[in-house]
Structure 1
């Protein structure tokens, strides 16, 4: 049996050891929580900070004699169809044609931009669905315009209809891109008798910068589209379709829900849209294998007004207001959604959910293998046919005056 005096003597030592252990654990927990908060803050800032285009593939070979280029194989670079490639060297942008050969690690594609024998291309490159990167490449009449948006004049391109028409489509590009992304859509709408207005919006690198210089994922950018609708109305538009790409889809939806001019919107076309941002960000975090608690912290930092310093300033992101599936009862405009089930960036789940919630308004054209905002590139005939059919079936292929 233990001597009571020895037991009593050991109690202070035991208590002291426990205190040291608790202190060490508390310090470790505090360090862990601080580290998680820092990483969550960085993730939050990354979401709302306009970013320069980053390389996502590598050029491994260039054959100027055969006019071919070889890239590291990926789900994007191996896609059939026509694409673009942002590069460095003598050619800042290249048009790419069909896949000529595919190996275990590389893909060789036909060059549609001629590179002279003396040309060179850097190794780092960014694969793109743009295809056209300048309006002149469409070989259609256009004029540069300035739209009086709330933060100041915002540049736009105006492609007039072939014949006088009061039908307009306003094209809204996605996150981290510019209005050149939407050049692909000009021909199909021109054939339908539409004037195309390709707009810029705050913090996209072309339009004026907000005081914080950060995105709100559609929560404030829609005001610049509201100004574009006013511009179109002053120029004679009586039938207006909004078309949004990726984050541009979120902006188009917010304009349709919030704009003072929403009664002048006749329809919405969305390509690979962000309909529920919380779902999009969780999906992207999952692709990066980020822990769920960290993702929750980042979403909290984005959505809470008190967490401005964590996200680098800027307004809180109103995720509930941006969740259009939740707000589907408020929708009033017919809508065509074009989305690939293996988008790879913005999951198509919310597009399916919105189509199920509002089958009276929403039609979903589902692609596979086409990836994010590359549906036109992957299957231009089907993409064009879907838009043409939707516009025609809803009677949007005629001027309002012709309907009376």
Structure 2
């Protein structure tokens, strides 16, 4: 009997050890490893969606192969196929795997049976027409794999550099606008020359009188790496943010930070370590990672719903030991709550990457100088798509309040 117990215990320890090793590796590759595959195009996805039917006003899609995605969410999105693409709007009906949406614009040909993919990389050109980045009619690229303010938003720009304690970092700086500079801080595995979200929003900000500074920082391609060898979600990156702020202050006395997804951590860590309201007038967050481990748990729960939630604490411990990570040091919620620098916070409640509950908590705990725009049936960093006019109005109102 004792022998059987020993065998069972040994088996349990082996399974736990193997599971801890496997899932800690997933956490590292999916959220901590700064190295990423080099591709020429942004926003590409597998063609896993089928066109069921299409007419002049509607398109019906079979989304059975999509676990989640923009075509299941409220807003204006792109559908890209081999022979054509479409801009779609309102969800007319949704039953089981079949989604019927308003057809706003069709370029080329889409027919029943075509395999397509969905994208949130939609913008509005100067003529008021929708365009989808990454299509045959508009790649958005200035050269192979490179996107610029001019190629995406038709804005003049220069390439400047700022310095931090780790070295020198290149950035785009648009040239028009006299109200101030908005510094965009991208998320995990970003690259300033491929940050199409920031490049698209720079057009909106230009219309509001602001220049955009789209920065690189440690662990980006071609710039100094963090000595730890991992993405730190703010614990060290705040030094780079401070360097970028100091550079922007050479051009203006009004600086606003704009953090998307994993870019929320470096900005929030800057609040914790510097937080000088004489240097920064306001902060804009879009689906921000302000506590990295919270995002790990949400991602893990969505991808492995059969896993007992209690195991995540074990995976956390194994990851910390294996990779030398301190997840508690990546939690900046209190810094955001305690700061009095004005904040505009966008988040959708259908975000499968960053938990909206994190933003809910901050909004509930911070009583002043915070505007929270929470969307229903909207996913990760797609607030503009949900309602472009409202999004720009919220930006305008917030920026005007900083005068």
TM-score (norm 1): 0.75
- Please say if residues 199 and 228 of structure 1, whose CA atoms lie closer than 8 Å, have aligned partners that are also in contact: yes
Kindly state the Cα deviation for residue 69 of structure 1 after the two structures are TM-superposed: 8.7
Determine if the alignment matches structure 1 residue 237 to structure 2 residue 252: yes
Determine if the alignment matches structure 1 residue 140 to structure 2 residue 155: yes
Distance of 1:54 and 1:285 partners within structure 2 = 23
Mapping 1:218-229, distance limit 5 Å: 218-229=234-245
Counterpart for residue 127 of structure 1: 119
Distance of 2:3 and 2:88 partners within structure 1 = 67
- Please say if residues 156 and 200 of structure 1, whose CA atoms lie closer than 8 Å, have aligned partners that are also in contact: yes
Distance change (3 Å), C-alpha of 1:115 and 1:225: farther
Kindly state the Cα deviation for residue 380 of structure 1 after the two structures are TM-superposed: 0.7
SS of the equivalent of 1:158 reads: strand
Deviation per CA, 1:266-285: give whole Å up to 9, x if none.
Answer: 11011111222222222222
Determine if the alignment matches structure 1 residue 20 to structure 2 residue 3: yes
Give 1:331's match in structure 2, choosing from 335, 339, 360. 339
Counterpart for residue 268 of structure 2: 253
Give 1:343's match in structure 2, choosing from 344, 351, 356. 351
Unmatched 5+ residue regions in structure 2? 38-42, 124-132, 134-139, 141-146
Distance of 2:162 and 2:271 partners within structure 1 = 19
Deviation per CA, 1:294-326: give whole Å up to 9, x if none.
Answer: 311222234x3x432xxxxxx523x33433333
Determine if the alignment matches structure 1 residue 292 to structure 2 residue 305: no
Determine if the alignment matches structure 1 residue 216 to structure 2 residue 206: no
Kindly state the Cα deviation for residue 173 of structure 1 after the two structures are TM-superposed: 1.6
Distance change (3 Å), C-alpha of 1:166 and 1:149: farther
Aligned length: 361
Distance of 2:349 and 2:153 partners within structure 1 = 29
RMSD of Structure 2 on Structure 1 (CA): 3.6
- Please say if residues 270 and 336 of structure 1, whose CA atoms lie closer than 8 Å, have aligned partners that are also in contact: yes
Answer with 257-266 or 122-131: which moved more. 122-131
Distance change (3 Å), C-alpha of 1:100 and 1:76: closer
Counterpart for residue 210 of structure 2: 194
Distance change (3 Å), C-alpha of 1:211 and 1:24: same
- Please say if residues 70 and 379 of structure 2, whose CA atoms lie closer than 8 Å, have aligned partners that are also in contact: yes
Deviation per CA, 1:253-275: give whole Å up to 9, x if none.
Answer: 11222248663011101111122
Distance of 2:155 and 2:350 partners within structure 1 = 33
Mapping 1:2-401, distance limit 5 Å: 18-45=1-28, 46-50=30-34, 51-52=36-37, 55=45, 58-60=48-50, 72-73=62-63, 74-83=68-77, 96-98=87-89, 105=97, 114=107, 125=117, 127-129=119-121, 131=123, 133=140, 134=147, 135=149, 136-162=151-177, 165=178, 167-177=180-190, 178-205=194-221, 207-211=223-227, 213-234=229-250, 236-259=251-274, 263-287=278-302, 288-289=304-305, 290-302=307-319, 304=320, 306-308=321-323, 315-317=324-326, 319-328=327-336, 330-395=338-403
TM-score (norm 2): 0.75
- Please say if residues 129 and 373 of structure 1, whose CA atoms lie closer than 8 Å, have aligned partners that are also in contact: no
Distance change (3 Å), C-alpha of 1:252 and 1:329: closer
- Please say if residues 57 and 72 of structure 1, whose CA atoms lie closer than 8 Å, have aligned partners that are also in contact: no
Kindly state the Cα deviation for residue 143 of structure 1 after the two structures are TM-superposed: 2.1
Distance of 2:236 and 2:290 partners within structure 1 = 15
Distance change (3 Å), C-alpha of 1:393 and 1:381: same
SS of the equivalent of 2:159 reads: strand
Distance of 1:241 and 1:79 partners within structure 2 = 29
Unmatched 5+ residue regions in structure 1? 1-17, 309-314, 396-404
Kindly state the Cα deviation for residue 96 of structure 1 after the two structures are TM-superposed: 3.9
Distance of 1:284 and 1:253 partners within structure 2 = 21
SS of the equivalent of 2:212 reads: strand
Distance change (3 Å), C-alpha of 1:262 and 1:123: farther
Distance of 1:261 and 1:301 partners within structure 2 = 36
Kindly state the Cα deviation for residue 186 of structure 1 after the two structures are TM-superposed: 1.3
Distance of 1:98 and 1:150 partners within structure 2 = 46
- Please say if residues 82 and 95 of structure 1, whose CA atoms lie closer than 8 Å, have aligned partners that are also in contact: no
SS of the equivalent of 1:195 reads: strand
Distance change (3 Å), C-alpha of 1:144 and 1:229: same
- Please say if residues 328 and 357 of structure 1, whose CA atoms lie closer than 8 Å, have aligned partners that are also in contact: no
Distance of 1:113 and 1:102 partners within structure 2 = 20
